[in-house]
């Protein structure tokens, strides 16, 4: 059965559940939470506040089975070339394979190479952190990761999330080719004690190379050409290019074409994380992901957290027609987690053709977005509660805070739980009317005000509660979302591991750039592009 027909089998369940709001389902079944929640290590996953009942859930699980999620998962872990348009294996899971088992790519066990790079990263990190590795001004005080997309979002998000564990040099991240990014970052840094890590899988990405060249110029100016090299390290699969840039091989940390950019934080791309939190905690981070990999491989589909996350996403995207998905961490240090997931999900599953190159007949990846609670509550939650779009949400919250600060954490958790409750239960017109009556409003005032205070409810959410935002927990969370994205791509029959959609804009930027410094009209362009170039040139002088 093709993706569309398989997904369509869910339709009767939507029809049935359309008349059964979740609040009624909760009243009817006191065991709903225990039926629709799971625990994995230190993490609990509640998916009971979704528009499902036992039959709908079974049908969703059946969909995963019919779409051969298990077979394709096994193919991925076995190193088959499931990234067909680039003819590559997909093995970010090997980077956190702590089992001792071999992982084969084209018949070759890649684990020894992975361990070799990890051990080189460990040695370098220990040397930098201890001060054994010295640059012109002595011990490194600041590390600037220069990269973009997967070579930035992962480490930047993780370093921020794990800041309570950071005891190494101060980490900074420069990604945007907008000179403001580099300039603002370098302000206040001492070039003599700064290390730049040029992170680029291809080592050709225009923005990263521009920032790397400007960083090199800044260092050379301060320490001279001869000493500049020691202020640079590289993370890349392209050794020729790192050498051409002048970074010596002993400060170049490699990875492989079977690690996708947005799946690369576990690889050498995580060096800035390791420098910040140290090798032992970096290992815990890998351990967390490994726990999830094992769960993904071994748990039956109906108890498999990433599979369930994926199925619920399909349910809402394809059957209920909900086009966006919000990720709402009640954990301020996860502020960049939604942005990280945007790349992971939208670059992976924002596809319009299937594996055979045929136009897909179902919607694929949703728009993923979010901000930390409680800030979001005072900004966009109005629309989530009462807007005309239904937005499935993921709430994330830790049981233990990093800071013991009065009752802040209890307030935070209470808000998180209150939001998912409010979204689910809503508030009926009768309830609003009774409340207003109780508050002494007359009938006219009630009639005027009541509709505005109604919450239709029945708005779905998942909630993750974890013990504490540790390196291990963060590793788990990221891996859960990675596998969710994979399962959805499998069900939609698309390639989640290429990203051709980013290429056209890159090519056109190269074409347009010469027109921005020459007073020559781009004759072959559309009138809007020509007009914008003209406006730019006139405003420039």
- In terms of CB distance, is 103 or 177 closer to ligand F6P? 177
* Residue of 282, 367, 345 lying closest to 484 (CA atoms): 345
- Residue 49 CB, shortest distance to ligand F6P, in Å, is 34
* Residue of 396, 304, 424, 306 lying closest to 49 (CA atoms): 424
- Residue 293 CB, shortest distance to ligand F6P, in Å, is 21
- Residue 352 CB, shortest distance to ligand F6P, in Å, is 17
- Residue 183 CB, shortest distance to ligand F6P, in Å, is 21
* DSSP bridge partners of 326: 369, 393
CB-nearest residue to ligand F6P: 261
- In terms of CB distance, is 203 or 466 closer to ligand F6P? 203
3-state helix, strand, coil in the chain (%, to 5): 55, 15, 30
Question: In this structure, what token pair is assigned to residue 79?
Answer: 């190193």
- In terms of CB distance, is 347 or 371 closer to ligand F6P? 347
- Residue 339 CB, shortest distance to ligand F6P, in Å, is 13
Active-site residues: which are they? 347, 378, 506
Residues at the interface with ligand F6P (CB under 6 A) = 148-151, 200-202, 205, 208, 261-262, 347, 499, 502
Instruction: Judge if the upstream peptide bond of residue 374 is cis by omega within 30 degrees of 0.
Output: yes
- In terms of CB distance, is 56 or 157 closer to ligand F6P? 157
* Residue of 367, 146, 402 lying closest to 272 (CA atoms): 146
Strands (E), 207-363: 232-236, 252-254, 324-330
Q: Which residues contact 38 (CB under 8 A, 6 or more apart)?
A: 44, 45, 47, 303, 305, 308
- In terms of CB distance, is 92 or 201 closer to ligand F6P? 201
DSSP structural state of residue 357: S
Residue 249 near residue 120 (C-beta atoms within 8 A)? no
How far is the CA of 530 from the CAs of 2, 519, 527, 534, in angstroms? 44, 12, 5, 6
């Amino acid at each position: 059965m093709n993706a569309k027909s398989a997904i369509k089998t869910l339709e009767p369940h939507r029809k049935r559940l359309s008349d059964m709001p979740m609040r009624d389902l909760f009243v009817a079944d006191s065991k709903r939470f225990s039926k629709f929640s799971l625990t994995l290590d230190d993490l609990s996953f509640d998916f009971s506040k979704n528009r499902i009942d036992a039959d709908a859930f079974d049908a969703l699980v059946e969909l995963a089975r019919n779409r051969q999620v298990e077979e394709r998962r096994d193919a991925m872990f076995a190193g088959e070339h499931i990234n067909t348009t680039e003819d590559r294996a997909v093995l970010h899971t090997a980077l956190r394979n702590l089992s001792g088992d071999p992982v084969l790519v084209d018949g070759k066990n890649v684990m020894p190479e992975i361990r070799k790079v990890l051990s080189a990263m460990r040695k370098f990190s220990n040397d930098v952190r201890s001060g054994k590795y010295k640059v012109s001004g002595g011990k490194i005080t600041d590390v600037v990761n220069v990269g973009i997309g997967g070579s930035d979002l992962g480490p930047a998000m993780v370093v921020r999330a794990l800041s309570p564990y950071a005891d190494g040099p101060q980490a900074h991240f420069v990604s945007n080719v907008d000179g403001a990014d580099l300039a603002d970052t370098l302000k206040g840094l001492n070039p003599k004690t700064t290390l730049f890590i040029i992170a680029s899988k291809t080592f050709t990405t225009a923005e990263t190379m521009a920032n790397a060249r400007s960083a090199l110029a800044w260092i050379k100016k301060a320490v001279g050409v001869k000493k500049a090299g020691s202020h640079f390290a590289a993370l890349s699969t392209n050794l020729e290019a790192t050498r051409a840039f002048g970074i010596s091989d002993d400060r170049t940390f490699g990875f492989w074409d079977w690690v996708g950019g947005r799946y690369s934080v576990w690889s050498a791309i995580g060096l800035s994380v390791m420098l910040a939190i140290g090798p032992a905690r970096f290992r815990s981070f890998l351990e967390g992901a490994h726990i999830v990999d094992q769960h993904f491989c071994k748990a039956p589909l109906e108890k498999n957290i990433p599979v369930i996350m994926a199925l619920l996403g399909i349910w809402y995207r394809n059957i209920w027609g909900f086009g966006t998905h919000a990720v709402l961490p009640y954990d301020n240090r996860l502020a960049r987690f939604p942005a990280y997931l945007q790349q992971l999900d939208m670059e992976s599953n924002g596809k319009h053709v299937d594996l055979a190159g045929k136009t897909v007949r179902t919607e694929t990846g949703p728009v993923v977005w979010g901000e930390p609670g409680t800030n979001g509550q005072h900004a966009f939650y109005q629309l989530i509660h009462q807007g005309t779009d239904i937005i499935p949400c993921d709430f994330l919250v830790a049981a233990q805070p990093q800071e013991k600060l009065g009752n802040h954490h209890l307030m935070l958790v209470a808000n998180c739980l209150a939001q998912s409750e409010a979204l689910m239960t809503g508030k009926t017109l009768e309830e609003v009317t009774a409340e207003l009556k109780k508050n002494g409003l007359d009938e006219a005032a009630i009639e005027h005000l009541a509709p505005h205070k109604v919450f239709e409810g029945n708005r779905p959410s998942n909630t993750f509660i974890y013990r504490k935002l540790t390196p291990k927990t963060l590793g788990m969370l990221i891996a859960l979302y990675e596998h969710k994205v994979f399962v959805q791509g499998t069900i939609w029959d698309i390639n989640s591991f290429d990203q051709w959609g980013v290429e056209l804009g890159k090519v056109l930027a190269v074409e347009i750039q010469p027109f921005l410094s020459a007073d020559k009209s781009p004759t072959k362009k559309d009138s809007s592009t020509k007009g914008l170039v003209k406006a730019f040139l006139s405003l420039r002088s």
